[in-house]
């Protein structure tokens, strides 16, 4: 998988962004990030400003999305 296979998700409590599989991003909330974290909001691309470009991207999601 590549970073383009993921959408950007955010935990509203912490503000941390997570990668969510694009194939599950259209399902109802809550979503599961690829690291296992619960995500409240999915919006944008993981490799965009709301994902990796955000202030606090999840290091585990970063690593897993690039594998």
pLDDT in tens, 13-60: 999 999 999 999 999 989 999 999 999 999 999 999 999 999 999 999
Question: Which three-class secondary structure string do you get for the chain?
Answer: CCHHHEEEEECCCCCCEEEEEHHHCCCCCCEECCCCCEECEEEEECCCCCCCCCCCECHHHHHHHHC
pLDDT of residue 2: 56
Answer yes or no: is pLDDT of 66 > 90. no
Structure tokens at 21: 């599989």
For the chain, what is the largest distance between any 2 Cα atoms, rounded to a whole number of angstroms?
28
Place of tokens 């509203």: 12
């Amino acid at each position: 998988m590549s970073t383009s296979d993921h959408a950007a998700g955010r935990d509203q409590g912490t503000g941390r962004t997570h990668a969510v599989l694009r194939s599950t991003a259209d399902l109802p909330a809550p979503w599961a990030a690829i690291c296992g974290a619960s995500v409240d909001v999915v919006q944008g691309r993981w490799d965009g400003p709301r994902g990796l470009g955000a202030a606090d991207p999840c290091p585990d999601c970063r690593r897993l999305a690039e594998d």
